Amino acid sequence: MEDTGRHLLKFKGYYFKRVGLDVDFLENLDDFEIRDDDVFIITYPKSGTIWSQQLLSLIYFEEHGKRTENLETVDPVPFLDARPSHLFSTHLPHYLVPRGLKNKKAKVIYIYRNPKDVMCLYFHFSHKWAENEAKTTIEEFMELFLEGKVTGSLWFDHIKSWYEHRSHFNIHFMMYEDMKKDLINSVLKVCRFLGKELNEEVLDAVVRQATFQNMKYDPLANYESILNSQPEGKRKEGPFLRKGTIGDWKNHMTVEQNERFDKIFQIKMKDFPLEFIWDINEE
C-alpha cells in the first residue's frame, strides 16, 4: 500500500479516499461472499451511481415492499458492506472486486458517462465534499484526473478494463446519457437483464420517482443526512445533485483544455468500441 501523503491512499494500484478507509476490509475483499442473486452497480465516480442505485432500489422495492437503505452509506468501498442486502454499489476496478463475482450468476451493471462531464462534476464535487481535497483550479484538477491521481484512479483504465474483462462477469453496460435520453427504455433493459417484469403502472412509478427533479428533493437520494453533517460553509455550496445534464463541460473547459483532453482521449481510447455522447445538441 502506498501512502501518497495527501487525501488519497493507493491500494493495489488503485486510489481510495483516505478518510474512513477500512484497509482490513479491503485486504479481505477477495473472499467477500457473493450470492447468486447479488446485483452490483459498478461505476467510476460521478458517472450516475446514485441514480442507478435509486433505480435498483425502486425496482426491488416493488418486489419486496421495502426500500433498501444503502443509499446512505458512503466510502471506503461504497455500499459493499451492506449485507443483508443483495444490492451493492462500488467504484472498484475489475481486479479488486470479490472473486466470487466471477461466478457469472451474480449480476453487474456498469454505468458510464462521458469523461469530460465526469471530470467537470468531479471538480465541483472535490470542492464541495472532499474535505481534505486541495482547492485546485479546473486546470490543475484536469491534470490530476488525466493522471489518475483522484479517488477511482484513471477513468480510462477503469472503463477499459471492465469492458475488456466483461466475459468474466454477468455484466450489463449502461450509459448515463442513454438514461437521460430515454429512461423508460434503460429501465426496461435493466429489468430484462435482472429477469424482472414490471407492469406498466409500476414501470411508470419507478421512472417518475427516478427523475432528477424528484431525486433532488428526496433526502435519501440527495445524501441529505450527509450534507447536514457537513460544516455550514460546505452546506452552502449546494446539494449533491447539482445539474444532471449532458455537456456541462462546455461551460467549464477552455478550448485548449478541450483539445488537450480530446488528444489524450483519442490515444487512450483508440479502438474502444463503446460510443459516448458529449453533448445533447450534437446528436
Ligand X SMILES: Nc1ncnc2c1ncn2[C@@H]1O[C@H](COP(=O)(O)OS(=O)(=O)O)[C@@H](OP(=O)(O)O)[C@H]1O
CB 17 within 8 A of CB 151: yes
Beta-strand pair 107-112/87-90:
unpaired
| 5 close to 73: Cβ distance less than 8 angstroms | no
- 242 is a contact residue toward ligand X (CB under 6 A): yes
| Binding residue (CB under 6 A) for ligand X from 244, 260, 268, 269 | 244
Site residues (CB under 6 A) for ligand X, limited to 49-88: 49-51
Interacting positions 156-215 with ligand X (CB under 6 A) = 210-212, 215
Q: What is the DSSP letter of 79?
A: T
Distance in Å, CB of 240 to ligand X, minimum: 7
Q: Least distance from C-beta 182 to ligand X, angstroms? A: 13
Q: Which three cell numbers stand for residue 154?
A: 484513471
Q: How far is the CB of 209 from ligand X (least distance, A)?
A: 9
Is there binding between residue 43 and ligand X (CB under 6 A)? Answer: yes
Q: Cell numbers 467504484 label which residue?
A: 91
Q: How far apart are CB 271 and ligand X at their closest, in Å?
A: 26
Q: Which residues pair with 174 in a beta bridge?
A: 111
CA distance 248 to 268: 22
d(CA 141, CA 15): 15
- What is the x/- site pattern for ligand X, positions 85-124, by CB under 6 A? ------------------------------------x---
Give the binding site for ligand X (CB under 6 A).
43, 45-51, 121, 210-212, 215, 241-244, 248
